[in-house]
Copies of this chain bind each other. A is one copy, B any other.
Amino acid sequence: MFFASDNAAPCPPEVMAALSAVNQGFAMPYGNDAHTARAVQVIRDLFEAPEAAVYFVSTGTVANCLSLATVSPLWGAVFCHTNAHVQEDECGAPEVFTGGKLLLVPGEHGRMCPEALDKAIRGQKPGVVHSVQPGAVTLTNITEGGTLYTVEQTRAIAAVAKAHGLPLHLDGARFANAVAASGATPAELTWKAGVDIVSFGGTKGGLMGAEAVIFFNPEKAFEFELRRKRSGHLFSKTRYLAAQFEGWIAQGQWLTHAAHANAMAARLAEGLAKIPGVAVAPEAAANILFVKLPEETVEKLREAGAVFYLRGDDYARLVTSWATTEDDCDRFIALAAA
């Protein structure tokens, strides 16, 4: 009954197998090897983006920070949701990397409101030195609130960004879950909807520690590479990052794992919603669930070995993963109901 985070699960077999498969002989370092080239192509194919620049890094923090730093100037404002991970959980890393400032955009259920975004951007005056200059917009899908930006909702945000000439970045730490939840293709949920750069998360979906950064327009690729180097994120043995993605995507497991995680959350939601005194927050769409539990239920669950965090407002955050079992869910529900 481990629901604290999807980053606590082990790696699925296809990932371990892929690591073994590339562990043969010498390979040129720093990304100049055939394994890395192959994994780049796998990602391009998956996103129907033959021209995209694709890079592998090891953490979601750096995937987001390098992406934003590459497209937003030193004096840039990066617009994000009030509760975005980049604002709340990165110890200021986005400011360190970009040199700029996050500006917060409100919106219900973890999604920026397009009108609020427009107003926030208008608040920063281009050409006036006293004001940080509009730099980029970043959205998280699946959001920090466990909700989904549909293709339509993504388009609405992109429309505002484009109207102001701003690049749109997607923090896709749980992008696989978003694809599974939306039924859209990776392309539909990104560049076809107006997203310019994606942090395509692997770690929360089962990888050891691997994220892909995708620039659909490769214009600033070398700048990204320099920033990656200068922040200590250029791996010498890149094949071991690349292989994880290759193995994970090869037979479609990236998506079946995500669909499984989503299903486990839905199972929890369904079971918990029936319990008197328990409230499930609306619009949960993927593998994150916020559930209001009576205090004594929380204690009872924890005593029984369930692991999860409480949000400030007494909602429990339950996160499922590829490794969550039906039994985990059912036991949790039964305990909560007892």
Contact = CB atoms under 8 A, between A and B. Distances in A.
Contact of A127 (B100, B222, B234): B222
A60 B131 CA distance: 16
A59 B234 contact: yes
A101 B95 contact: yes
A228 B59 CA distance: 12
Contacts of A133: 91, 226
Interface in A102-141: 123, 127, 129-133
Interface in A270-305: none
Q: Which 7 A-B pairs have the closest CB atoms?
A: A62-B232, A7-B236, A61-B232, A2-B26, A129-B229, A208-B240, A8-B26
A276 to B, nearest CB: 30
Dominant secondary structure at the A interface: loop
A36 B93 CA distance: 24
A183 interface: no
Contacts of A225: 129
Given A127-B222, A237-B203, A96 B7 contact: no
A176 interface: no
Contacts of A236: 5, 7-8, 59-60, 203, 209
Nearest to A2: B26
Contact of A16 (B5, B23, B209): B23
Nearest to A12: B23
A181 B5 CA distance: 45
Nearest to A8: B26
B61 A229 contact: yes
A44 interface: no
A89 interface: yes
Contacts of A318: none
Given A130-B229, A232-B62, A240-B208, A8 B23 contact: no
- Of listed A129, A222, A240, residue having the most chain B CB within 10 A: A129
A217 B23 CA distance: 37
11 contacts: A2-B26, A8-B27, A10-B26, A75-B226, A91-B129, A92-B132, A93-B229, A95-B100, A129-B226, A208-B240, A209-B237
A65 B233 CA distance: 12
Contact of A230 (B75, B123, B230): B75
